[in-house]
Structure formats: C-alpha cells, structure tokens
C-alpha cells in the first residue's frame, strides 16, 4: 500500500512540473494515509452489492472503514479509480473516463503545479502549497462536513469564510447521498444558540437542543463556543478519538473510538429521547423523555383538555399583575422558544426585577455566553405563552416562571408540598374560586351537606368544576382536610371523582373536583320520576358494578385500604355518558396497613 505523502513526494520531484497533470490519482488499493497513520482517504463502497464507489475518509485502524467524510456523496463512481485535480480554481474529482463527479471551490487562485493534497492527523484533507505548509489552506474537507463532526471541525458560522457549516444526513446507512435531515446551529432567538434539525419535507425545523453556555441540551459537552458566539468547534470527548454523527433518521450520536476493540462505540444518542425531534406540548407544557405520556403542565397550570399535546396548559389562577408575584425555578430545562428580549444583567436579582417590572413577562432565564475571551451574562425574558420546553436530568438551564399567585400562606405552602410533582393538581387562590363561582352565588349551588356547600364553577380557562366549600364548623377540620387532600390526590380510578385542586386561604377550606354533567344518583332515583325511568335495569346493574369497582379499588388501595363510610346515592355522581363515580372521601379513614378494624373517633351519619 502506498501512503500518499511519500507517493506524492516521489511524483512531485521526479515528474517535470510542466507535465504534472493531476494532484493525486487514487484507486482500489491506493489511498492517502496521514503522517501519523491515524486516518486514511480513498475509495470505499458502503454496500458490497452495487458498484457505487465514493471518495471518503476513515480511521486507518477501522476494519470496516466507517466513513467520516465523503466527497462525491451524490455522484458515485462505478469503479474505484479516480483522480483529484485542480481545474480553474476548483478542486475536482474525475473518474477513470475523465468525467467530473465532484468539485469544490478553492479559496484563492493557486499555482496548480505547486499544490499538494495532504491528509492531516486529525482527519482533515487539505490542499495547500507544498512550499509553505504553514500557510492557509486553499481548501480543506473540514469546511464541508458530510454527516459527521470530528474534533477540531467547526459547526455554525465559519468566521473565516462566513459560511454556515451544517451536517447533512446520509439517505440510508448504505447510501451516502444527501438524506432527509440537516443539523446546524442557529441564532434563532437573540442569543440562545440552538442546534436545529431540518427535514426537507417538513415545513418546520426542530429546535433540537439549546446552548446553555456549557453544553447543548443534555448532550455531552463536546461542542465549544469559539471566537464568535454562533461558531462552535468539536472537541475530543474523554480524551479519546470521537465523532458526532447525524443519522439517516435525524438522530445524533456521539461515538468514541475503542482502540482495544478497534471499533466505534456509541456513548450518547438521541434515539431514546421522544422529545428530541419535537418537544412541543402546547403552551406552558413541557416534554419529558422518560414518561408516558411525555407531556406535562408546568406547576400552577393544568391541561386545557384531555390531551396536552393539542391543547396545551392554562393557568389555574386568573392572571393578575402584582409586584410580589413569585417566580418558580425549573431546573435542567430546555428554554422556551421566541424570547422577547435579551439584556445584559450580571446579577440574578437584576434579571428577576427586569421581568417583574413588565406585567406581561412570564418567564426569565440567565444565560452565560462566551464571546472570544469574555464571559457575558445575559438575561432573557419571555412575554406571553411559553412553548417548546423539555426537562433533562443533566444539562439544560434554570427557567424562572412567573406564578400569578398571592403570597402563599403557611397552609398554602403546606398544600403546595402536598401537591408535589403532580402537575394535574393545583393549589388555587381564593379570588379565582370567587370568580369561578360568581362569589359563591346561590344559583350555582349543586348540593349541601354536613361538610359544606358544593357549587358549580367555571375556571378562567373555561373548565367546569365542582367547588366544595367546607363550612367553618363542619366536622371536617384541618385534619380531615389534609386527610382528604393527600388521600384523594393519589386516588385515580375511572369510577372515582377526581380532585383537581384545592384552596386554603384564611379560614377557607375549598376542594375543587371535576364536574359531572348528570349530577348525583339520588336525583335520578328520588327526585325526578321522569329521570328515574331512564334508569333501566341494565343501566342500574352497570352502575352498581361501577360502584363496586370503585369501592374495590379503594379497599385495595396500595398498602392502606380506604373505607368510604358514607356511601349513599347523593355521593354517586354521573358523567355525560352516565358513567358513575364515587365522590366525597371526606369521611374516609385510612386504615393502617394490617389493620382490619378501626375505631372511629367521630360519629358518621350514614
């Protein structure tokens, strides 16, 4: 095998310059090898079936010649014979019949007779003047990556050429022709640099992952910001030969070379990340790659309809603008798209007060940017709805979201703790409830009981709810309230009424439940004879069955069975489809595990 430098050396010095016709001729076994024997450039065949040959670069040690760069990706040769030449300020590849299959512009006029093509030990194929090897290259393969970035390759704007360097996927694993995805860096929104993915048949590009001053999303920190903010360079990862490759399916993967096994080993990939190509979960929704379903609402927001993906989330509390609005910190987040403004703000407090001052400011984040040798802290603010967010385990950024809530009382804080991570549950403020129920208007009363009055309410987002306002002197004190909230929060069954939120302001104790259109069973059985006739035996039997299922779920609930103790027709509610759901767990008493009998401290009416 002839390595190129020596080959060229011979060629260059023993052939008269005037007769020198080409830069280098390559064929099946004739390749260019870098000085340190690291990389090799030559013809390869991605599949053994078709006679498609490509000029490419691979690791010299790699037995399967995993291609790291391809010249003539869209125009294969039929035999592994071709010549690199310089014609009219262009580097060209011609096949054995002298037909041009690929070309690239040289950066300047060159004296062809003095030029050499050389493969460097970082995998960069360069064309330069042999005399001044330190001078700027007339051309280099690193300026036009295929689907792979190697250490020292750039992504984003090349400050020298002003070209936008992107990766373009192969069409398939055995077809290097330009595929469906491209990956680039874009200063899409002021100074958040995002890696985007574009599918030529899709209108939108995906904002895949966002720069946080250190890394993109949760990708290992193999890209470093360069002299210009929108210019990045790939670095070695864990002091090993590494590569970042865009797959034909639009995923990207980080590989490390394992010398002992002479193989590229996958060390990070987006293939398992269901949020990666599109983290859209509607307004105020965020995507989580490890959960099913993947969409969640930010705390303090709840789904507008059953599917967050289509409807997004809405605030539970009516938006107001107060100086004392709180900000909730979300860690490891992919920042939302379309920020409103980016300002210099070195301190976090300054950033927060910038957002606080603007009534419409919904969130802010403080980001770090490298600009040459300088580190800049910037404050980014968002106005209006927040879109396209994701949470990560590592990486991402702190996002501060404005909460339109009064300063929480101690009880409220306790309730927030109870609410915990469950995004479907909300602690609401009294003014929202007052608004929803028309100030507890008597026209909205659904029912009265020992515990208090139940009102129909309509939340600011239009959702109908049943609001249970506990009376001050009902048997249900703070103990029962907490009991009911903590218990019901975790009880999710199709035949049990779902708790959506609670309010605990001053002396008020309010529970907010889902609203069931057809109200309670007692109205059917005892109140309205016409409706009573609607309940045929089949329906009654089904309802009995459903109640039994609900009770069975309660009785077998996790480690602590729940006994209802107040089951009666007025506590059986019916939804639009006449599916029954048991309500009012206020009287429930959680049995300790292993306890089959319990003494009740309070008398129960039923």
Spatial separation of the C-alpha atoms in residues 415 and 409, rounded to whole Å: 10
Peptide bond before residue 293 is cis, with ω within 30 degrees of 0: yes
Q: Output helix, strand, coil percentages for the chain, rounded to the nearest 5.
A: 15, 35, 45
- Identify whether 566 is a catalytic site residue: yes
Spatial separation of the C-alpha atoms in residues 469 and 511, rounded to whole Å: 7
- As measured in angstroms, the least distance from the Cβ of 377 to ligand NAG is 24
According to DSSP, the β-strands at 206-210 and 223-225 are: unpaired
Site residues (vs ligand NAG, CB under 6 A): 27-29, 47-48, 79-81, 96, 171-172, 174-175, 177, 288, 290-291, 296, 360, 383, 391-393, 421, 423, 434, 439, 469, 471-473, 507-508, 517-518, 531, 534, 576, 578
- Of the CA atoms within 13 Å of residue 310, those in its CB half-sphere come to 3
- Between 166 and 543, name the residue whose CB sits nearer to ligand NAG: 543
- As measured in angstroms, the least distance from the Cβ of 171 to ligand NAG is 4
DSSP SS3 for 32: strand
- Between 517 and 545, name the residue whose CB sits nearer to ligand NAG: 517
Q: How far is CA 569 from the centre of its chain?
A: 46
Spatial separation of the C-alpha atoms in residues 366 and 125, rounded to whole Å: 40
Number of Cβ atoms within 10 Å of the Cβ of 259: 10
- Between 101 and 590, name the residue whose CB sits nearer to ligand NAG: 101
- Between 188 and 508, name the residue whose CB sits nearer to ligand NAG: 508
- Between 231 and 520, name the residue whose CB sits nearer to ligand NAG: 520
DSSP SS3 for 65: coil
According to DSSP, the β-strands at 426-427 and 499-503 are: parallel
- Of the CA atoms within 13 Å of residue 210, those in its CB half-sphere come to 29
- As measured in angstroms, the least distance from the Cβ of 528 to ligand NAG is 9
DSSP SS3 for 517: coil
- As measured in angstroms, the least distance from the Cβ of 438 to ligand NAG is 9
Spatial separation of the C-alpha atoms in residues 502 and 500, rounded to whole Å: 7
- As measured in angstroms, the least distance from the Cβ of 88 to ligand NAG is 24
Q: Is 193 in contact with 156 (CB distance < 8 Å)?
A: yes
Closest CA to 524 of 544, 540, 545: 540
- Of the CA atoms within 13 Å of residue 533, those in its CB half-sphere come to 2
Q: Where are the beta strands (DSSP E) in 211-360?
A: 223-225, 231-234, 242-246, 252-258, 263-269, 285-288, 295-297, 301-303, 313-315, 326-334, 341-344
DSSP SS3 for 302: strand
- As measured in angstroms, the least distance from the Cβ of 516 to ligand NAG is 9
Which residue has its beta carbon closest to ligand NAG?
28
Helical H runs in 175-241?
none
- As measured in angstroms, the least distance from the Cβ of 26 to ligand NAG is 9
- As measured in angstroms, the least distance from the Cβ of 487 to ligand NAG is 21
Q: Which of 74, 566, 575, 584 is catalytic?
A: 566
- As measured in angstroms, the least distance from the Cβ of 478 to ligand NAG is 13
What DSSP character marks residue 582?
A: E
Q: Which helix (H) or strand (E) holds 479?
A: helix 478-490
- Between 259 and 291, name the residue whose CB sits nearer to ligand NAG: 291
- DSSP annotation string for 79-145: SSEEEEEEETTEEEEEETT--EEEEEE-SS---GGGEEEEE-TTS-EEEEESS-TTSPPSEEGGGS-
Q: Which helix (H) or strand (E) holds 430?
A: helix 430-436
Spatial separation of the C-alpha atoms in residues 419 and 350, rounded to whole Å: 30
- As measured in angstroms, the least distance from the Cβ of 509 to ligand NAG is 7
Long-range contacts of 102-109 (CB under 8 A, 24+ apart): 102/55, 102/71, 102/72, 102/75, 104/71, 104/139, 104/144, 105/139, 106/138, 106/139, 107/136, 107/137, 107/138, 107/139, 107/161, 108/138
Three state DSSP letters for 523-568: HHHHHCHHHHHHCCHHHHHHHHHHHHHHHHHHHCCCCCCEECCCCC
Spatial separation of the C-alpha atoms in residues 282 and 310, rounded to whole Å: 6
Q: Is 494 annotated as a binding residue?
A: no
- Between 360 and 371, name the residue whose CB sits nearer to ligand NAG: 360
- Provide the annotated binding site for ATP: 468
- Kindly list the catalytic residues: 566
- Provide the annotated binding site: 468
């Amino acid at each position: 095998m002839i390595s190129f430098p020596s080959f060229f050396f011979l060629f260059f010095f023993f052939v008269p310059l005037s007769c020198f016709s080409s830069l280098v001729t390559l064929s099946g076994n004739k390749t260019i090898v870098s000085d340190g024997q690291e990389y090799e450039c030559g013809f390869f065949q991605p599949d053994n079936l078709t006679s498609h040959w490509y000029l490419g670069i691979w690791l010299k040690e790699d037995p399967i010649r995993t291609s790291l760069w391809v010249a003539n990706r869209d125009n294969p040769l039929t035999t592994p014979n071709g010549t690199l030449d310089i014609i009219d300020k262009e580097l060209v590849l011609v096949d054995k019949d002298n037909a041009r299959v690929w070309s690239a512009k040289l950066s300047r006029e060159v004296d062809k007779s003095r030029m050499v093509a050389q493969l460097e030990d970082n995998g960069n194929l360069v064309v330069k003047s042999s005399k001044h090897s330190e001078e700027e290259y007339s051309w280099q393969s690193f300026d036009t990556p295929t689907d792979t970035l190697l250490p020292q390759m750039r992504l984003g704007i090349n400050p020298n050429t002003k070209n936008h360097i992107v990766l373009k996927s192969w069409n398939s694993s055995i077809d290097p022709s330009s595929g469906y995805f491209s990956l680039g860096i874009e200063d899409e929104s002021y100074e958040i640099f995002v890696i985007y993915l574009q599918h030529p048949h899709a209108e939108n590009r995906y904002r895949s992952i966002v720069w946080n001053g250190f890394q993109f999303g949760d990708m290992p920190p193999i890209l470093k910001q360069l002299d210009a903010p929108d210019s990045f360079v790939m670095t070695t990862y864990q002091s090993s030969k590494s590569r970042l490759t865009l797959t034909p399916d639009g995923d990207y993967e980080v590989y490390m070379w394992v010398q002992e096994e002479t193989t590229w080993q996958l060390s990070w990939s987006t293939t398992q990340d269901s949020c990666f190509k599109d983290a859209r979960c509607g307004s105020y929704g965020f995507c989580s790659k490890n959960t099913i379903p993947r969409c969640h609402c930010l705390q303090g927001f709840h789904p507008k309809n059953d599917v967050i993906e289509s409807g997004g989330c809405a605030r539970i509390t009516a938006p107001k603008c107060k100086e004392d609005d709180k900000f909730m910190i979300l860690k490891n987040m992919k920042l939302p798209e379309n920020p409103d403004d980016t300002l210099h703000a070195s301190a976090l407090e300054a950033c927060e007060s910038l957002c606080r001052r603007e009534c419409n400011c919904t969130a802010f984040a403080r980001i770090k940017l490298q600009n040459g040798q300088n580190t800049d802290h910037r404050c980014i603010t968002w106005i209006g709805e927040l879109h396209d967010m994701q949470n990560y385990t590592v990486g991402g950024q702190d996002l501060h979201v404005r909460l339109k809530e009064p300063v929480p009382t101690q009880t409220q804080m306790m309730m927030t703790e109870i609410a915990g991570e469950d995004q479907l549950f909300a602690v609401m403020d009294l003014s929202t409830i007052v608004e929803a129920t028309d100030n507890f208007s008597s026209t909205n009363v659904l029912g009265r009981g020992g515990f208090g009055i139940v009102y129909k309410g309509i939340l600011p987002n239009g959702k109908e709810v049943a609001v249970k306002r506990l009376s001050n002197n009902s048997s249900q004190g703070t103990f029962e309230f907490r009991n009911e909230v903590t218990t019901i929060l975790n009880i999710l069954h199709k035949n049990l009424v779902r708790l959506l939120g609670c309010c605990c302001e001053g002396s008020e104790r309010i529970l907010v439940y889902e609203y069931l259109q057809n109200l309670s069973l007692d109205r059917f059985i005892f109140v309205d004879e016409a409706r009573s006739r609607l309940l045929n035996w089949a329906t009654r039997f089904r309802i009995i069955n459903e109640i039994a299922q609900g009770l069975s779920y309660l009785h077998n609930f996790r480690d602590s069975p729940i006994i209802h103790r107040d089951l009666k027709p007025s506590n059986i509610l019916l939804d639009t489809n006449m599916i029954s759901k048991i309500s009012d767990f206020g009287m429930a008493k959680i049995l300790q595990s292993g306890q089959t009998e319990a003494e009740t401290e309070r008398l129960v009416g039923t």
